[in-house]
Structure 1
Amino acid sequence: MESVQPTVFNPAQLYLLDVFSRIKSDEELNDIKQLVSDYYAKKLDAHLNQLWNEGVLDQKRLDEINDMDLHQWLREQKDKDNLAV
């Protein structure tokens, strides 16, 4: 029989558990979800702007990405990563 290891939470997880324990309504939950979504959208936007400014990303590359099957591409990347291990 396998022994069950206790879950160890990091400080961020503990903080979020505390915050989430105080949510009393669906409206509050939706507000928190929106805050998290906005946070990651802002981070992504800043990263994309950095790539654009560095010349890594340009209109030509955006057009190429637009024509790609990103789900297939991600599967291929995952397969490559698994082969490398």
Structure 2
Amino acid sequence: METTTLNRTQVHLLQMFQVDSSQEGLDELKALLYSYYSKKMDTCLNELWDAGILDQKKLDELNNMDLHKL
């Protein structure tokens, strides 16, 4: 069996789970992580849009693609 090494973020999250193992704590953490990564994604997408790499035509192309096949 292959051994997996956890990175610092994974170790920290596991340590946090020891403090609060309730469903409410998990739900709050999930919402926080969703918000964090959503903001990061918005920032990146805005940068791509401002740089002209992403535009409505490209979004329309992506919308019509089956991304699961990539």
Query: One fold, TM greater than 0.5?
Result: yes
What's the secondary structure of 1:9's corresponding residue? coil
Q: Which runs of 5+ in 1 are unaligned?
A: 75-85
What TM-score, normalized by structure 1, do the two folds share?
A: 0.71
The one of the two structures with greater contact order (alpha-carbon pairs below 8 A, sep at least 6) is 2
Q: Which runs of 5+ in 2 are unaligned?
A: none
Quick one: structure 1 residues 12 and 60, their matched pair in 2 at CA, closer, same or farther if it must change by over 3 Å? same
Quick one: structure 1 residues 5 and 65, their matched pair in 2 at CA, closer, same or farther if it must change by over 3 Å? closer
Identity of aligned residues (%): 49
Which letter maps to 2:23? Answer: D
- Which is higher, the Rg of structure 1 or of structure 2? 1
Match for 1:61 among 40, 46, 58? Answer: 58
Matching of residue 25 in structure 1 with residue 40 in structure 2: no
Quote the residue 1:82 is aligned against.
none
What TM-score, normalized by structure 2, do the two folds share?
A: 0.83
Aligned alpha-carbon RMSD (Å): 1.7
Quote the residue 1:37 is aligned against.
34
In 1: Cα distance, 2:10 partner to 2:31 partner = 18
